Amino acid sequence: MVSNKKLGLIGRNISYSFSKKFFENKFQKLMLKDYSYNIFDLSEIQEVENLFSSPELLGFNVTIPYKEKIIDYLDELSDEAEKIGAVNCVLIQNGKKTGYNTDAFGFEKTLLLHKKPQQDSALILGNGGAAKAVKYVLDKHGIASKTISRNSEINFENLDQQTVKNHKIIIQCTPVGTFPNIEDCINFPFEGLSKEHLAIDLIYNPNYTKFIINASEKGAKTVNGYYMLEQQAEKAWEIWNFQKK
């Protein structure tokens, strides 16, 4: 009998997810008939307990708002996940639940593809799980960064043009502007941007958020979150399939 191998994504209000389509295409390409990928829309993180009782579950991805909350439900964390303090990929093996962070891998690939040598300091907009992975990668590459959040010293109310001018990499890590709220945009002094800037928005749906459109109008090089998403998904696939030694 063919055993069923279940994967999936946990989050809240995630019917728009990229992951399901991505992995179903992968199963098709690799002719894996016994794999399935499901969307687990949880209104509270506690509901993840029900998932763990499924013997066919190999693992799952984790998205907003559970990247930090999931940690309490796991047995072990990878080095990156521990340092970052956020998990977006879980492997279940012999009942043991291990958390990984493949966002860092995906963001690092994106950053190194587009960064210019003179772009040596960054502003991280937001302070959730994705922002933590971004900070980890910037630290690893010796790129000085400041985090802008609602409650930080420099916040969305007092961030000024000069600070933006002085930091040539801007990474938008909040969910503001995600489909279906595509007209929304964070409060940001776009006048501080120039063609010397790299502006990365981790959102992938829509392709061009209001943030990206506004940044490109000021001449900044702009990148969305699609490549990062693809790369973190490939890394998750590797974890689920090659950690079985």
DSSP 3-state of 128: coil
DSSP 4: P
Nearest CA-CA partner of 244 in 49, 91, 39, 70: 91
Nearest CA-CA partner of 183 in 204, 150, 206, 157: 206
| Cα 152 to Cα 67: distance, rounded to the nearest angstrom | 20
DSSP 3-state of 136: helix
| Cα 52 to Cα 45: distance, rounded to the nearest angstrom | 12
Q: Which of 6, 20, 67, 168 is catalytic?
A: 67
Strand 59-62 and strand 5-11: the pairing is parallel
| Cα 133 to Cα 10: distance, rounded to the nearest angstrom | 18
CB 60 within 8 A of CB 79: no
Whole-Å CA distances, 115 to 1, 141, 201: 50, 11, 14
Active site residue 67: yes
Active site residues: 67
